[in-house]
Amino acid sequence: MALKKVLTTRMETPYAKPPPLHIHVVKLEENPKVVAWDFEETVKAATIKKNKLAIVSDGNSVTKVTLYEGFASNLEEGRNYVIRGYTLRGESPPYYLNIEKGTMFFRGSNLNVPQNLLEEAEALLHP
């Protein structure tokens, strides 16, 4: 099932499992997030989570996915994957892909991404 259809179609039941997706990781960029500050002598970041932003495509559309610190090492830029076990966030379409501990990544076959989607991916990453 296409990425755009999964993200824009309402599921029949709240507990419906979305189908596997064949994706290409177009861009991958670190996105550190400060979760605790230290105010001793000067202000400095005490705890930083090293999340990553991934722009993924199915060859027809692109979307942005946040990979939290524990899952950031599962994907590499330029690789193709089939993902299963992901969930969708949001109460109504358009939904967002949610990667969690039950999400599985399998190496996939080559997927061509047109130039216009590469430009759209860059715009998503750096608006």
Q: In the structure encoding, which two tokens stand for residue 115, read together? A: 């130039």
pLDDT digits (tens, 9 = 90+) for 84-96: 999 888 888 888 9
pLDDT score of 83: 94
The CATH number that applies at residue 20 is 2.40.50.140
Res. 75: pLDDT tops 80: yes
Rounded CA-CA distance 109/71 in Å is 22
pTM of the model: 0.84
When pLDDT is cut at 50, 70 and 90, the band that residue 14 belongs to is confident
- Side chain identity, residue 36: A
How many domains would you assign to the chain? Answer: 1
Residues facing 125 on adjacent strands = none
When pLDDT is cut at 50, 70 and 90, the band that residue 21 belongs to is very high
Rounded CA-CA distance 12/22 in Å is 22
Domain that holds residue 28: 3-125
The 10 Å Cβ neighbour count of residue 88 is: 18
